[in-house]
Structure 1
Amino acid sequence: MKLSFVIPVFRNEGSITPTYEKITGLMHKLVLDYEFVFVNDGSDDNSMQELIALHEQDSKVKVLSFSRNFGQVPAIIAGMKEVTGAAAVSMSADLQEPIELIENMISKWQSGNEIVIGHRVDREDSFIANKASAVFYSLMKYVNPKMPKGGFDFLLIDQKAIAVFNQIDERNRFFQGDILWLGFSVAFIPYSRLKRTIGKSQWTLSKKLKYFIDGLLNTSYIPIRLMSLLGIIISFFGFLYAIVIAYNRFINNTPFEGWAPIMILILIIGGLIMLMLGIIGEYVWRTYDETRKRPLYIIKDKLAKDETTN
């Protein structure tokens, strides 16, 4: 039996080789065949040189190199299209996932689960990073109840599920939502995310916001329904306010004075309208982005056994 490892790489110089060594050590211990599919996502450090050295050292190491930085999700998607194992493990190259968990994942998979997800229950990160992550995944769990509280990036997926995953032809993908959408049998394994010891995270605030918007708009109708609900609520209170003004004017003979309430209403309603237009604009842009049919990623170089392209 062969197990594939899909590992996106972006400025992971120094942590790639230790990741490879830990995984191969586990595979030798379990007496399992393996392959690596490293995807260099436009790194501008020495990550590619490190990957080339591993490929020359081990023919089971395959390397894809993008023409520029396309993002972690496109890198995972590209890697999944290259795997040949009975199952694939998707993980990062930052040494923050406990490699020992893979043995438990294999056991759950062999018990009949097509997807085994390692979900974070604790993180050895900074206070701010922990709180930001908690808020993000709490919102995601509201959008998708199947989403584990701490989210996930570390998982094992069966070849059968990979075949369906590879059929999804969309841009602005929400990887976690796509995995849960597949509908295959899923097992969850909790783990504590380790503190990063080599390099620094490239998961910037802008990337997190982009990923959150992808998750919100790609997997849920909540934004559209929320706009409709807000419209109904505002209309109701506007109608109620009109009744109060009419009652005071014609029953109590109280003239309506002052522009402050009107200005407040105009600003509130105007702000909500702009917010709704922004949400609609996001949907319009995504529809346009789909129609352009641009590739999700561009492979500049490929290193594989008996196959090299430049």
Structure 2
Amino acid sequence: MSITKPRGAAAELARTCFSLVIPVYRNEETLDALLPALQQIAADLDHRMEVVFVVDGSPDRSYQVLQERLPQIGFPAQLIGLSRNFGSFAAIRMGLEAGRGPYFAVLAADLQEPPELIVSFLRTLETEPFDITIGTRETRGDPWLQSLSANLFWALYRRFVQPDVPAGGVDVFGCNLRVRDALLRLRESNSTLVGLLFWLGFRRKTIPYARRPRVAGRSAWTWRRKLRYLMDSCFALTDLPVTLIMTIGALGSIGSILLSIVVFVVWAVGGIKIPGYTPVILVLLISFTSTMLALGIMGGYVWRTFENTKDRPLYVPMTHEMYGQDRTP
């Protein structure tokens, strides 16, 4: 881990109450616009903010540029370089772990999410009874094909994984220390940070914003990454694949039994003249569907074993108040 502290930031760091985590990957071209925007956020937050940059094995000069610029940036910052590209969720977790809170937020380095949204996150977390703030996109500044694919992806995610996720998906969020600690306790490698955030529950508030066009570079959010994200979400957060196999097997078994009766009756009355046709069809129908049903049942046991190996807590307390208790020793 490499940490860079700005000069003369000791006083500001002592007053820090908001850690902003920014994963960085192939963002060298956007840093010149990002850093002044962060300076404005720091000023709006009375310099109570630190920024945790996590360079996720970026092949460009993002790390070097930040290393050169951060000592003169004027707000507390940490610069963390990962040994290789572990993915944005791993980088965000690293940033959340390094942040010194007690409030946290995540912002992409491409400036497609307005930086002033972060100010709204902190104001909400400080003054309103919410534990999590979710940025929800009202409009997208992406090309129509990219917007279509993103909307389709999040529609499938909401339908089959987590219906609580906003229709436009989630790219940025804020949370308090309690949520941060609970999230970091869920150490699952092949999972999704957003999915785990919604699995935890807590009191959430959505804050709408208009997504901006990309100022430079290309998105790393490819179809391959979207498919992997959706698969990780399905396998980590829902038993849909197992339930689907079991349902197909159960319905197929009923259908195969009925069809087998029909084939047997037709054969018995002499309607089938081909030798060996009837037993072959009956064996194929019954064996295939029974195999599907057996796989579904076995998958149910495997899923429950898999759930236990995650070691997720059986409950996550949010509040605990006591009234009328005798406090005398």
Shift of 1:55: 2.7
Alpha-carbon separation, structure 1, partners of 2:196 and 2:31: 27
Q: Secondary structure at the match of 2:213?
A: coil
Equivalence for 1:149: 167
1:184 aligns with 2:202: yes
Alpha-carbon separation, structure 1, partners of 2:247 and 2:47: 54
Shift of 1:42: 0.6
Q: Secondary structure at the match of 2:190?
A: coil
Q: Give me the TM-score of the superposition, normalised by structure 1.
A: 0.81
Q: Secondary structure at the match of 1:119?
A: strand
Question: What is the one-letter code of the residue matched to 2:70?
Answer: H
Q: 2:223 aligns with which of 201, 205, 229?
A: 205
State the structure with bigger RCO (CA 8 A, min sep 6), 1 or 2: 1
Question: What is the one-letter code of the residue matched to 1:157?
Answer: C
Q: 2:243 aligns with which of 200, 211, 225?
A: 225
Which consecutive residues of structure 2, in runs of 5 or more, have no partner in the other structure? 1-15, 311-329
Shift of 1:83: 0.5
Alpha-carbon separation, structure 1, partners of 2:20 and 2:118: 11
Task: Tell me if structure 2 keeps the 8 A contact 1:116–1:156.
Answer: yes
Alpha-carbon separation, structure 1, partners of 2:205 and 2:155: 20
Alpha-carbon separation, structure 1, partners of 2:113 and 2:241: 33
Which consecutive residues of structure 1, in runs of 5 or more, have no partner in the other structure? 292-310
Question: What is the one-letter code of the residue matched to 2:266?
Answer: N
More strand by share: 1
Shift of 1:196: 0.7
Task: Tell me if structure 1 keeps the 8 A contact 2:44–2:119.
Answer: no
What's the RMSD between the two structures over aligned residues?
Answer: 2.8
Equivalence for 2:322: none
- The alignment covers a number of residue pairs equal to 277
Question: What is the one-letter code of the residue matched to 1:61?
Answer: A
Q: 1:91 aligns with which of 107, 115, 119?
A: 107
Post-superposition Cα deviations, 1:191-239, rounded to whole Å, max 9, x if no partner, equal 2221112111112222111111111111111111111111111112211
Question: What is the one-letter code of the residue matched to 2:147?
Answer: N
1:1-310 paired onto structure 2 within 5 Å:
2-58=17-73, 60-109=76-125, 110-142=127-159, 143-251=161-269, 253-255=270-272
Alpha-carbon separation, structure 2, partners of 1:32 and 1:159: 19
- Computing the radius of gyration from Cα coordinates, the structure with the larger value is 2
Alpha-carbon separation, structure 2, partners of 1:256 and 1:212: 50
Shift of 1:256: 5.7
Task: Tell me if structure 2 keeps the 8 A contact 1:113–1:185.
Answer: yes
Question: What is the one-letter code of the residue matched to 2:48?
Answer: D
Q: Secondary structure at the match of 1:23?
A: helix
Alpha-carbon separation, structure 2, partners of 1:91 and 1:240: 57
Post-superposition Cα deviations, 1:60-88, rounded to whole Å, max 9, x if no partner, equal 12111111111001000111100002211
Q: Identify if the C-alpha distance between structure 1 residues 246 and 34 changes in structure 2 by more than 3 Å, giving closer, same or farther.
A: same
Task: Tell me if structure 2 keeps the 8 A contact 1:118–1:191.
Answer: yes
Alpha-carbon separation, structure 2, partners of 1:236 and 1:19: 61
Percent identical among aligned pairs is 30
Post-superposition Cα deviations, 1:146-180, rounded to whole Å, max 9, x if no partner, equal 11111101111111211111111211121111111
Q: Secondary structure at the match of 2:101?
A: coil
Greater than 3 Å deviation, 4+ residue runs = 256-259
Q: Identify if the C-alpha distance between structure 1 residues 235 and 70 changes in structure 2 by more than 3 Å, giving closer, same or farther.
A: same
Q: Give me the TM-score of the superposition, normalised by structure 2.
A: 0.77
